[in-house]
Amino acid sequence: MVSTNRLGLTILFGLAVFVFWRIRYPFALTYQEQFQLFLFDGDYFTERIAEPGGLARYVGEFLVQFYNSPALGAFILAVLFMLVQRLTWRLMRSKEHYCLSFLPAVFLWYVLGDESVLLTYVVALVIALAVCWGFAKLFLGWGYEHKMLLRRLYIMIWLIPLLYWAIGPMVILTAFILMPVSVIYAIVVMLLSAHYLPYPMTRVMTGICYYRSPEILPTMLMVIPIITILVSNFVRLLPKANRIVSIVEASVMLIIILCIFHGFGYDAKKYELMEYDQLVRIKDWKGIIAKAEKQTPDLPMSVCANNLALAMTNLLGERAFDFYQRGSEGLLPPFERNFSTIQLTGEVYFYLGLVNTAQRLAFEAMEAIPNYNKSGRMMKRLAETNLINGEYDVARKYLQMLDKTIFYRPWAQQALAMLDDETLIDAHPVYGTLRQFRLEDDFLFSEDELDKICGQLFMHNQKNQMATQYLVMAPLLDGDAQRFINYVTYVQSKVNYNPRYVREAIAKIRTTR
């Protein structure tokens, strides 16, 4: 009965994790997925396995590709979290205080609020705990005679380096739980390996592939193994669990979980941007506007996403000032060397018809991924821009890579069929249109002259509604009346464009004069 209750509690916990990711933060999962391109390919596996932690990384990246479907992603996370909890419970030397076995998993939940923590870390933790559990059972049967101790030692001599190579520095957790003295051996192995690896010592010691950015030392990642060790080894020192103790433990756990839900670990602004980014990715323009209507976006990238959505629905001139604005930078944010901002800005350039610039930003975004991964989303965009530009050999290269994935494969196969077929591409609703929008007179891109570039786009093709809207609204958002009047006069001499805020601005400027 007690055991059923315990299992029930674990399942409830798993359900909470599932609901959290599936309902509250599904966009965080798709956000994670775009930082990798998992290939079903021998070289992909050997590249990963060539470094310590490579097996955990391979498994982690294999699982993350399923984040493309948030339900699957949430399920995977729920299973992993339950495994962490159950394995911790199995390793606890006292079979009291079941609630405390949730501590490492709960902290893990908190830690995953940092979007740079990779699933590799979670997989490494699960493998480390599973190995501990397996070998602890084995060692327990052996007793403590001299011969058996030697046998244990012999196993540890082999196990530590192998496990280190498979899961990285998380091996220290296994070493400590199985044979505390072997931690020294594990550290020596890690130090030695650093001499032969193309990474700085600190990176090797803290994990090459646990955290996306190599320049940051994630201290919280070191806390979880310590908590696991404390829970597994020292819970027996606590007083036996009576009803009051159990209530206290459960309450602590609840408070920690509530803290997570209330955003201590999950930066609301950051996650809001992720949601905007996801909505842009799936071209849910109405969804973006609806979200902005609930809470007006104020960050540069969320303003940019909302303006893009307004332009894509031809509403920029009608509704731009219904929302908080950040000048013309809210239309086309300046270049920054980080994946998220580059790729969102690249989306704007793509729909404007600046295919070369969109291609550059897609390339830059992929290169900006701190752990040197490639990105499925960006690879797809690169294939598209090369397809539009008629660079079929380059497009083929990217499409053949995407063809080796689960989620991008159907699209890649459709696109492969379009290669070298000008008629098919010209007839494509997006690619064909963008081909017509592309500029034909060359000049060098300048961020300082974006309105002029929009002007060139408009003059080249007056059906380019997005360029029309950006050209007219850019000076208006900057509060530059003269420039606005010049542009709107020219635009209105060519096309019928007179939305609400344009009308109001013209009237106000005339009244003022």
Partner 1 sequence: MRKLSWYFCALVCWASCTQRVENPVPLDDFPTIYPDYIGVTIPAEIAPLNFNITAADIDMVDIVVHGSKGGDLHAQGDFADFDVKDWHELTAKNKGGELTFTVCVIQDGQWKQYKDFKVYVSPYALDEWGLTYRRIAPGYEVYSKMGLYQRDLSTFDEYAIIENTQVPGMCVNCHTTCQTDPSKFVFHVRGGHGATMFQTDGQREWLKAKNDLLGGAMVYPYWHPSGEYCAFSTNQTRQGFHMVKDERVEVFDLSSDVFVYHPATHEILTDSLLQTKDWSENCPVFSPDGHTLYYMTCLQQDYPERYKDEKYNLCKIAFDPETGKFGNQVDTLFNAVAMGKSLTWPRPSYDGKYLMFTLMDYGYFSIWHNESDQWLLDLQTGEAREMKEINSDKADSYHNWNVNSHWIVFTSRRDDGLYSRLYLACIDDKGQLSKPFLLPQRNPSEYYSKSLYSFNTPDFTKTKVDFDAYEAGIEIASDKRIDTKVK
Residues that bind partner 1 (CB under 8 A): 41, 43, 194-196, 198-200, 203, 214-215, 337, 342, 354-357, 360, 363-364, 366-369, 372, 374, 389-391, 393-394, 396-397, 400-401, 438-446, 453
Q: How many residues does the chain have?
A: 513
For residue 447, the minimal CB distance to partner 1 (Å) is: 10
For residue 446, the minimal CB distance to partner 1 (Å) is: 8
For residue 252, the minimal CB distance to partner 1 (Å) is: 38
Token pair, residue 26, equals 């599904």
CA 430 to centroid of chain Cα atoms: 26
For residue 482, the minimal CB distance to partner 1 (Å) is: 24
For residue 451, the minimal CB distance to partner 1 (Å) is: 15
- Residue 179's contacts (CB-CB under 8 Å, 6 or more residues apart) are 152, 153, 156
Nearest to 174, CA basis, from 123, 138, 225: 225
| Cα atoms in the 13 Å half-sphere on the side-chain side of 58 | 20
For residue 438, the minimal CB distance to partner 1 (Å) is: 7
For residue 345, the minimal CB distance to partner 1 (Å) is: 13
b/e map of 231-241 (b: 16 or more CB within 10 Å)? bbbebeeeeeb
- Residue 382's contacts (CB-CB under 8 Å, 6 or more residues apart) are 359, 362, 363, 366, 394, 398
Q: How far apart are the first and last CA of the chain?
A: 84
Nearer to partner 1, 30 or 385 (CB): 385
Q: How far apart, in whole angstroms, are the C-alpha atoms of residue 365 and residue 160? A: 38
For residue 358, the minimal CB distance to partner 1 (Å) is: 11
- Measured over the CA atoms of residue 318, residue 323, residue 325 and residue 331, the dihedral's sign is negative
Nearer to partner 1, 361 or 502 (CB): 361
- The structure tokens 């403590």 sit at 144
Nearer to partner 1, 298 or 391 (CB): 391
Q: How far apart, in whole angstroms, are the C-alpha atoms of residue 433 and residue 350? A: 11
CA 73 to centroid of chain Cα atoms: 12
Nearest to 68, CA basis, from 418, 411, 413, 428: 411
Nearer to partner 1, 125 or 402 (CB): 402
For residue 117, the minimal CB distance to partner 1 (Å) is: 17
Give the H/E segment covering residue 183.
helix 182-194
Nearer to partner 1, 322 or 391 (CB): 391
Nearer to partner 1, 257 or 355 (CB): 355
Q: How far apart, in whole angstroms, are the C-alpha atoms of residue 277 and residue 31? A: 8
Q: How far apart, in whole angstroms, are the C-alpha atoms of residue 237 and residue 222? A: 23
**Residue 58: other Cβ atoms inside 10 A:** 21
| Cα atoms in the 13 Å half-sphere on the side-chain side of 461 | 18
Nearest to 319, CA basis, from 452, 468, 477, 508: 477
Nearer to partner 1, 66 or 437 (CB): 437
**Residue 470: other Cβ atoms inside 10 A:** 28
Nearer to partner 1, 286 or 337 (CB): 337
For residue 178, the minimal CB distance to partner 1 (Å) is: 30
For residue 380, the minimal CB distance to partner 1 (Å) is: 14
Spatial contact of 381 and 346, defined as CB atoms under 8 Å apart: yes
Nearer to partner 1, 40 or 261 (CB): 40
Nearer to partner 1, 446 or 482 (CB): 446
Residues linked to residue 326 through DSSP beta bridges, in sequence order? 328
Nearer to partner 1, 44 or 324 (CB): 44
